[in-house]
């Protein structure tokens, strides 16, 4: 399996069970998974994988808030150039993404 596909699968695995933020959760989880395979992964590579997952319909981006509206679906991939400190942008696997993970397990 190519590195880029492995990173995509690790990212998808991180967002299958709950809404996850890149800087709060996804980066650490994917970095830990990549280390098991003997390589390092950085934030830009994870952002690229997320963008591909969103484009392919395996993931969706959301804005989460403690005020109404609590959850807003975003169209496409948001710009994530800077590290988020307020943790507003989250990702979740779509039905298509969940079906993909159950068909070919991404749980490493």
- pTM exceeds 0.85 for this model: yes
Does 108 fall in a domain? no
Whole-angstrom distance, CA of residue 11 vs CA of residue 28: 10
Over residues 6-35, the pLDDT tens digits come to: 999 999 999 999 999 999 999 999 999 999
Indicate the number of domains in the chain. 1
Q: How far apart are the first and last CA of the chain?
A: 13
Domain that holds residue 7: 3-103
Give the CATH number of the domain where residue 28 resides.
1.10.10.10
Q: Is residue 104 very low, low, confident or very high in pLDDT (cuts 50, 70, 90)?
A: low
Residue 101 has pLDDT above 90, yes or no: no
Does 72 fall in a domain? yes
Does 38 fall in a domain? yes
Whole-angstrom distance, CA of residue 33 vs CA of residue 29: 6
Over residues 63-76, the pLDDT tens digits come to: 998 889 999 999 99
């Amino acid at each position: 399996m190519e590195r880029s596909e492995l990173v995509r699968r690790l990212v998808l695995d991180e967002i299958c069970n709950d809404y996850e933020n890149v800087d709060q959760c996804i980066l650490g989880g994917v970095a830990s998974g990549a280390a098991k395979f003997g390589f390092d992964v950085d934030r830009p590579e994870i952002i690229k994988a997320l963008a591909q997952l969103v484009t392919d319909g395996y993931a969706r981006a959301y804005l989460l808030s403690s005020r109404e509206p609590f959850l807003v679906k975003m169209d496409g991939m948001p710009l994530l150039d800077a590290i988020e400190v307020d943790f507003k942008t989250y990702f979740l696997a779509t039905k298509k993404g969940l079906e993909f993970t159950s068909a070919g397990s991404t749980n490493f």
